Amino acid sequence: MNKRDLVRLCRYYDGKDDSGTLTGNDVMFYFYEQKWVQWNLMIQSGEADEVRFFGEMLDDYNRAGLEDFESGDDTPKTIKALLFNRYNHWCQGDGFKEFYIKEYRKAIE
């Protein structure tokens, strides 16, 4: 997938270097989606560290029992795993599902 294809899978990141008028959590989502696109492009170019990092995030996400969480919302599992990783880094505890639904998924409702 090229950058344009990856950006189409994002809810907040639009491919630009600036988040524009976004505020609050939307800026954070923009930043993480931007990183997700960059990491995917790095993986495609063969940068092994990023492959390992994505694998570890996916493993943690699956071990938490989230492998089928919101599977019909068209968000790539790797974006969800990244958001789960960051949620656990900043919030440490239960609540990811509620956070995801209320704060991230709202973009499609």
Please tell me what DSSP assigns to residue 108. Answer: G
16, part of any domain? no
Plot region of 4 (φ>0 → left; ψ -120 to 50 → alpha; else → beta)? alpha
43, part of any domain? yes
49, part of any domain? yes
19, part of any domain? no
How many separate domains does the chain show? 1
54, part of any domain? yes
Burial class (CB in 10 A: 0-12, 13-18, 19+), 2: exposed
17, part of any domain? no
Give the per-residue pLDDT at 52: 81
18, part of any domain? no
Q: What range does the domain containing 93 cover?
A: 3-10+24-108
- Which tens digit of pLDDT belongs to each residue from 23-61? 999 999 999 999 999 989 988 888 767 678 888 999 999
Please tell me what DSSP assigns to residue 107. Answer: G
101, part of any domain? yes
Higher pLDDT: 46 or 69? It is: 69
Full-model pTM: 0.89
